[in-house]
A and B are shown apart, each in its own frame.
Chain A
Amino acid sequence: MNEFENIQRLLRLKQYEKPADDFVEDFVTQFRERQRAELLRQSARSLLWERMNTFFSDLVSPKWATASATAAFAVVAAWGTLGLVGGTSHAGPELALATAEPMTVALQSQPSFAVDSELIKEASDPQMEIENILLSKHFEGDELASSLTGNGSNYTPISTQLVPVSDFGR
């Protein structure tokens, strides 16, 4: 007889400790929900990785798929990183130069700043004064004002002659 038979019999009574009857079904439901939530939480990066793996596994033998996907992933990452670093390092000196140049030149050299391009062209005309350009823009579409501010040889300094549109007819 086993010297520990009594204790073994006693320990077997622990089998009667059981969870509620519906525990298993509730547990399976909970597990399914958790799986679904995990899928939704999957990051874009892992999805990209998974798709690259699948793509390469179709192209090359499966044992090279992961290696090819890793290489492609590294190239994309390096290209992205270098592009970003290269972009900022080139922009630096140009911006520094722009501050030392006249406004018109600076605006032309930085078209990416979403400045009105017609305004830049006009501003680059050495015969035009910046004040006139801005006023002509202000009264754009108003014929009378345009005739007063007109271009070329009939030009008269507007600061002394121009009457605001709102004051006509008073």
Chain B
Amino acid sequence: MDGLLPESSDPDRTISGHMETTAEPIPASSSSAAEDRVLVERAQAGDTRAFDELVRKYTPKLYGLVYNMTSNREDTADLLQEIFAKAYRSLKRFMGKSSFYTWIYSISVNMTLNFLKKRGRHAKISLDDVDSGIQNDPEFVKITTANRDTVREVNIHELQKRLNAAMMKLSEDHRTVVTLYDVQGLQHNEISKILGVSEGTVRSRLFYAHRLLQTYLEDFVK
């Protein structure tokens, strides 16, 4: 499959297991890519319902990407409309050299980065609700228990606020790789294709971003 690979294909990825069940960022199966190809061909022939299917399929994934880069849900919804509108207008030029998923992701990342440049640093944070499933997540339980015993009680909203504030402190390039790798679960080679940079650059940006985040969120990761 040209494009996105299964998560397990990355030997560097050390985190797997429970968190992957909460979201499925990568359409790893070849049937998904084949399904996309059919939908794209139908959409290119003028079948708007086929494109609606693609919108329905990729909205949750792209929402996660844009939301985690902007930390503003209203901006995310607006931007996502622009992204799909642009993809629809450019669909005839899509030759299928990469998977639709990679293509739409590239459009989304580029448009979001352009948006962030225009918006500047005075962004208003507007966050989504946190799914109640987080309370059963072992990582969240661990963090809250550890803090309850020691410094203070951590609630969901405080954690959410801190995580988003820390993300917003990163530069746009670093935030992008963190979103794609840590939150969305993409592989280094996939991120490299989407961003049009080398895998080495992706790794180095990730390393630097992780180091900064570790400083910003020190009290949670001790």
Contacts and interface: CB of A to CB of B under 8 A. Distances in A.
Given A15-B19, A16-B137, A10 B129 contact: no
Interface string A58-79: 0000000000000000000000
B220 A16 contact: no
B210 A13 contact: no
A24 interface: yes
B138 to A, nearest CB: 9
A25 B60 CA distance: 11
B84 interface: yes
A165 interface: no
A16 B163 contact: no
Interface residues of A, number: 30
Contacts of B77: 19, 23, 27
B15 A8 contact: yes
Contact of A8 (B23, B133, B182): B182
A1 B48 CA distance: 48
B67 interface: yes
Interface string B144-184: 00000000000000011001100100000000001000110
Interface of B: 14-15, 19, 22-23, 48, 52, 55-56, 59-60, 63-64, 67-68, 73, 77, 80-81, 84-85, 88, 127-131, 133-134, 137, 139-140, 143, 159-160, 163-164, 167, 178, 182-183, 207, 210-211, 213-214, 217, 220-221
A17 B130 contact: yes
A28 interface: yes
A7 B214 contact: yes
A31 B182 contact: no
A24 B15 contact: no
B46 to A, nearest CB: 12
A18 B81 contact: no
Contact of B14 (A2, A10, A38): A2
B131 A19 contact: no
Given A27-B77, A34-B85, A35-B88, A13 B140 contact: yes
B65 to A, nearest CB: 11
Contacts of B64: 15
A8 B137 CA distance: 14
B133 A28 contact: no
B178 A18 contact: no
B84 A31 contact: yes
Contacts of B48: 32, 35
A31 B127 contact: no
A7 B221 contact: yes
Given A5-B15, A16-B133, A32 B128 contact: no
B81 A10 contact: no
Nearest to A19: B128
A24 B88 CA distance: 17
Contacts of A41: none
A30 interface: yes
Given A8-B182, A10-B143, 11 more contacts: A10-B220, A12-B139, A13-B134, A14-B68, A17-B67, A17-B127, A18-B131, A23-B77, A27-B77, A28-B59, A34-B85
A85 interface: no
10 contacts: A5-B14, A8-B15, A9-B139, A13-B137, A16-B134, A17-B130, A27-B81, A28-B59, A35-B48, A38-B85
B118 to A, nearest CB: 21
A12 B221 CA distance: 13
Contact of B160 (A8, A17, A23): A17
